[in-house]
Structure 1
């Protein structure tokens, strides 16, 4: 099986679920998906298992997969956990990043300030957060965040596609975090990152509420 094939299928399904094109309760049938993607069932099965791990899909009768309904309380706990872990990593990064990494962070910030394309900004946003994660020098916390990001990053990316104001507020929040990093102010960095993740959650709840109308 091609790992990349399973990854592509997973990413396509995540995009469909997060964008609302695949509503909660929609069946995820192995055979139909294999025909849609022109592959065997094996990479489809792997992609569906990853969706289940990411809590975007679950099994119903006869072990069949379907798109999972994300309850508000589930999302709130998920984003709270991500905010606590990522804010801890950011606080460590404030003291542990090298000068080269700090300059790289500034360059990513400038790139984001100049970007008005939601998809491109989503990629820049991911690089910003990855730079902080690697700068923290804590593999266990980083692995914990990776697991949480599997379940939150796609939702956070939806912010930029469906709320035009989110790009500007995200830029401002990144700017504040970067300034705190450059000042090696760990506690301010922690507070601002926690707030940054919380802002993403609030925007997401507004998006989901509009879809439900």
Structure 2
């Protein structure tokens, strides 16, 4: 296994809670981004003391963050050894995205049928706000509003169980969904895909809304698969844990 070294020992600004997101979740997202951008390679050990020092927090939120990271399948806890960075296999990533696409499609179908006029207005408003972030090339702003856009769709189903399940699966694919927003061309194509989704929901076309949302997520899958393959090829070939 690759031991945790200078890349984690580098100091980062202490994290503070924001937007209702806990410290552990913020830590987990930072580590997820480090993994999917290649800063933390597969097989690297994630040590609580060094992470606590890096982020200026106690070991308790670090421990919680590592549990979340393990649940998202970007890390693996090896008994009597510790927690190590791990990447999903291409087959596992496809399984996660297929599940996400089916759930999003179902959300689109129910939202097109059940959304109130106020909810439809809010969705359309978010879509127009997203257009401005594309114009400005604001990837961070697009990511934030994109999450709000999809959350609005989920709530529009008026099915709390479906929302909970969808958010749970989205948590697993979120790190790879974020990667797409580093490309300005992807921002534009993502927004164009949203246009068809919004149009279908506004006119109550349940079948088209379902299909377009499924296709929207699988487009992200294709980008994520290419990115995952590049990460795995750039990583040491030996001693690399991976989920099956």
**Bin of the TM-score, shorter chain as denominator length:** over 0.9
Q: What is the aligned counterpart of 2:128 among 76, 92, 110?
A: 110
Q: Considering only aligned residues, what root-mean-square deviation do their CA atoms show, in Å?
A: 1.6
CA drift of 1:63 comes to 4.4
Q: What is the aligned counterpart of 1:81 among 80, 84, 99?
A: 99
**TM-score using structure 2 length:** 0.82
Secondary structure in structure 1 of the residue aligned to 2:73: coil
Paired position in structure 2 for 1:126: 147
Q: What is the aligned counterpart of 1:183 among 176, 195, 203?
A: 203
Paired position in structure 2 for 1:152: 173
Residue correspondences, number? 211
Equivalences for residues 8-87 of structure 1 within 5 A: 8-87=26-105
Paired position in structure 2 for 1:165: 185
Runs (4 or more) in structure 1 with deviation over 2 Å come to: 2-5, 206-213
Q: Distance in 2 between matches of 1:210 and 1:169?
A: 22
Q: Distance in 1 between matches of 2:117 and 2:111?
A: 11
Q: What is the aligned counterpart of 2:224 among 201, 204, 207?
A: 204
> Which structure 2 residue ranges, 5 or more long, are not aligned?
1-16, 235-244
CA drift of 1:44 comes to 0.7
1:194 aligns with 2:196: no
Structure 1, residues 5-52: CA drift from partner, whole Å, max 9, x if none?
A: 222211211221222211211111111111212222111111100111
**TM-score using structure 1 length:** 0.94
> Which structure 1 residue ranges, 5 or more long, are not aligned?
none
Which structure shows the higher helix fraction?
A: 1
